[in-house]
Structure formats: structure tokens, C-alpha cells
């Protein structure tokens, strides 16, 4: 299986369990690895035979900016569903970063990573 990767998609969302997160929002960063067969597109040099990663990026940002959820696990699941809705995408790895998570000790990042497939 071939891979198309998008790294560092940024969007402001209002996800979290604390009122401050829901009121003020924060930046979320999303990394994606889309698993698909790129041979048909490469053979014909045809965008319609692969995933349009620009469209995927816009859809992922819309999910992050959309309806708030409590958990980034839920957000990751919604993003995975949006990616798998594209013809030809057989698998997706989604990593959601929450660099401004409300943690009381110094840290660099909080992430949740999920892998989903059509099977």
C-alpha cells in the first residue's frame, strides 16, 4: 500500500472537557497518513485516480473547526471517517496534537494516534 502524508495541518477548535477550552478554544495540529494504491494515478498522470490531498486537508480543518467534542480521541475518529470517505483511501493513520492541553506541569505536546481501515 502506498502512502500520502499530510503533516502539521493547523486549525482552531473548541474541544475539551473544561469550560475554558470550550470558551477560548485552542490550536490543534493534525498529521495524516493515507494508505492507497497510487499506481493507477501514476500510470495515467491523473489526479482523479488518487486522493486529492488539498480537499482532504480542507475537510480535516473543517472537522477540527466544527462541532466541539470532549476528547481528542473522538476528534481523531471523526477525522478518520472523513478520510475514509474518499474513494481509494483504504487506511488512515490520524495523529491529533493538542500542544496547549491544560496540564499543570511542563510538557511539549499531547497526541492521540489512531489507525482505521475500511476492513
Annotated active-site residue in 10, 20, 49, 98: 98
Query: How many of the other CB atoms lie within 10 Å of CB of 41?
Result: 17
- How far the first Cα of the chain sits from its last, in Å, is 14
Report the alpha-carbon angle 106-77-58, nearest 5. Answer: 90
Residue 59 parent element (H or E): helix 53-65
DSSP state of 47: G
Active site residue 98: yes
Q: Which residues are catalytic?
A: 98
Amino acid at each position: 500500500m502506498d502512502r500520502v502524508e499530510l503533516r502539521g495541518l493547523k486549525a482552531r477548535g473548541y474541544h475539551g472537557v473544561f469550560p475554558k477550552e470550550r470558551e477560548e478554544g485552542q490550536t490543534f495540529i493534525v498529521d495524516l497518513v493515507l494508505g492507497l494504491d497510487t499506481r493507477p494515478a501514476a500510470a495515467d498522470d491523473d489526479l482523479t485516480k488518487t486522493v486529492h490531498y488539498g480537499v482532504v486537508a480542507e475537510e480535516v480543518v473543517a472537522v477540527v473547526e466544527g462541532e466541539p467534542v470532549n476528547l481528542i480521541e473522538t476528534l481523531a475518529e471523526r477525522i478518520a471517517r472523513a478520510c475514509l470517505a474518499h474513494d481509494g483511501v483504504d487506511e488512515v493513520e490520524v495523529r491529533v496534537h493538542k500542544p496547549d492541553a491544560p496540564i499543570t506541569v511542563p510538557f511539549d505536546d499531547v497526541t492521540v494516534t489512531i489507525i482505521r481501515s475500511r476492513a
